[in-house]
Amino acid sequence: MPEPFKNAFNLPLITGMADHFHQQWPEFDMQGFTAAASKDLDALELKARSEQIMFAMIDYLPADFSRAAEMILATLSPAHDGDIFGELVDEHGISGWAIMPMAHYVGLRGHDHFETAMNLFKELTKRFSSEFAVRLFLLQEPEKTWLVMKQWTQDSDKHVRRLASEGIRPRLPWAMRLTQFINDPSPVIELLELLKDDRDAYVRRSVANNLNDIAKDHPELVADIAEQWMQGASKQRRQLVRHACRSLLKQGNAKVLQLFGYGELQLEKIRVLVQTPVVEFGMALQFSLSINSTADHDQPLMIDYVIHHQKANGKTSAKVFKWRTTSLAAKQSLCFSKTHAMRKITTRVYYPGLHRLEVMVNGIIVGSADFQLEM
């Protein structure tokens, strides 16, 4: 099994940070910092480990933020425009996961030193990411921070340009929500407009994820933006827009479906069949879809399926899964089979009982069948 992310925050990382801090400030208490940052580390999860290191920085770095900022800047590894994930603290300086608590430290301690803090966010993100910590500034000084992030959209470093999008995502995973931008995403969209044709796919993917966030609260707004952005769009922008609209496509948003060529269905003899009406937990649901075209032209099809999972209270919760996209020729038929594992995962708790399968084509439910899950 892959190593858990939390193990990136380990004793070698902490002692490496302590060594670099000591090189910049001989009075730095390496032993005290290391003991505080590594206390009961094995019992802590990822975010708790990062926060413990951050609090140790607050306790052991100079109380003067300007002096601490100089130290942090001097300890960083040389920046480069390549892949920064997986890098470590080494003899060249600090980078990789160690940047996470350092950025959090700046987010908490730097508010009285705005320009210094924003410059640190910019430099830290080149070695990992400042996307979580910069949100503390967006909450307290949104307009001032937004203006700096607008400048970042034109930066020569792709990691800084990505921060202009990723840091302001309203519903960034693992991060605090930015309620003001959930309610009014127009400042976010203004930055995304500047980044939608970025030369780097790494930045464009962040733009797409940001729009997908916004679509959860403002679906028709994002549908309208998608329509605008698709006009005269390059291949790269079309890919961005499609990725940004993935939730709207799953939901069957009519405007977005039409935008990508998924028109009104002309089908007959639609059959959804479950081959495993009883599924033992740990095994797989097997089902199929067969359809016939009544159209005199090819039909682009986007086929998804929905499983209504049993909950502890006896109600069900629906989850949409991607299946496939294809084209159905005029007057022709297609038959597809699918296997869906029903096994333990970290993101869902399964309960026994009656479940429902629905198959959607171009956002329309075309058939359903029930199956029993036994635990």
pLDDT (tens digit per residue) in 118-176: 999 999 999 999 999 999 999 999 999 999 999 999 999 999 999 999 999 999 998 89
Please report the pLDDT score of residue 121 as a whole number: 98
Q: Are residues 208 and 69 in the same domain?
A: yes
Please report the pLDDT score of residue 324 as a whole number: 92
**21 exposure class (CB count in 10 Å sphere: 0-12, 13-18, 19+):** buried
Mean pLDDT of the 221-241 span: 96
DSSP state of 286: E
Q: Are residues 253 and 273 in the same domain?
A: no
Please report the pLDDT score of residue 174 as a whole number: 86
Q: Are residues 100 and 228 in the same domain?
A: yes
Please report the pLDDT score of residue 86 as a whole number: 65
Q: Are residues 158 and 297 in the same domain?
A: no
Q: Are residues 337 and 212 in the same domain?
A: no
Euclidean distance between CA atoms 313 and 310, whole angstroms:
8
**HSE, side-chain direction, 13 A CA sphere, residue 291:** 23
Please report the pLDDT score of residue 94 as a whole number: 95
The CATH number linked to 369 is 2.60.40.10
Please report the pLDDT score of residue 85 as a whole number: 67
Write the pLDDT tens digit of every residue in 119-135.
Answer: 999 999 999 999 999 99
Mean pLDDT of the 73-82 span: 87
Please report the pLDDT score of residue 235 as a whole number: 95
Q: Are residues 318 and 173 in the same domain?
A: no
Q: Are residues 169 and 49 in the same domain?
A: yes
Q: Which helix (H) or strand (E) holds 305?
A: strand 299-310
Cβ-contact 272, 289 below 8 angstroms: yes
- Report the percentage of the chain scoring pLDDT > 70: 98
Residue 143: which domain range? 5-259
Q: Are residues 272 and 192 in the same domain?
A: no
Q: How many domains does the chain have?
A: 2
Write the pLDDT tens digit of every residue in 3-14.
Answer: 788 888 999 999
Lowest mean pLDDT among 55-59, 76-80, 219-223: 76-80
Q: pLDDT at residue 1 above 60?
A: no
Q: Are residues 175 and 307 in the same domain?
A: no
Instruction: Write down which residue in 226, 259, 292 finishes a domain.
Output: 259
Q: Which helix (H) or strand (E) holds 336?
A: strand 333-341
The CATH number linked to 36 is 1.25.40.290
Write the pLDDT tens digit of every residue in 284-330.
Answer: 999 999 999 999 999 999 999 999 999 999 899 999 999 999 999 99
Q: Mean pLDDT for the chain?
A: 94
Distances (CA, A) of 370 to 140, 274, 314: 50, 8, 15
Mean pLDDT of the 70-75 span: 97
Confidence of residue 220 (pLDDT cuts 50, 70, 90): very high
Q: Are residues 143 and 272 in the same domain?
A: no
Q: Are residues 254 and 327 in the same domain?
A: no
Instruction: Write down which residue in 223, 240, 259 finishes a domain.
Output: 259
Q: Which residues contact 367 (CB under 8 A, 6 or more apart)?
A: 270, 271, 272, 289, 358, 359
> Left (φ > 0), alpha (ψ -120 to 50) or beta: where does 255 sit?
alpha
Confidence of residue 87 (pLDDT cuts 50, 70, 90): low
Q: Are residues 129 and 175 in the same domain?
A: yes
Euclidean distance between CA atoms 77 and 99, whole angstroms:
11
What is the value of pTM for the model shown? 0.84
Instruction: Write down which residue in 199, 234, 259 finishes a domain.
Output: 259
Confidence of residue 113 (pLDDT cuts 50, 70, 90): very high
- Report the percentage of the chain scoring pLDDT > 90: 89
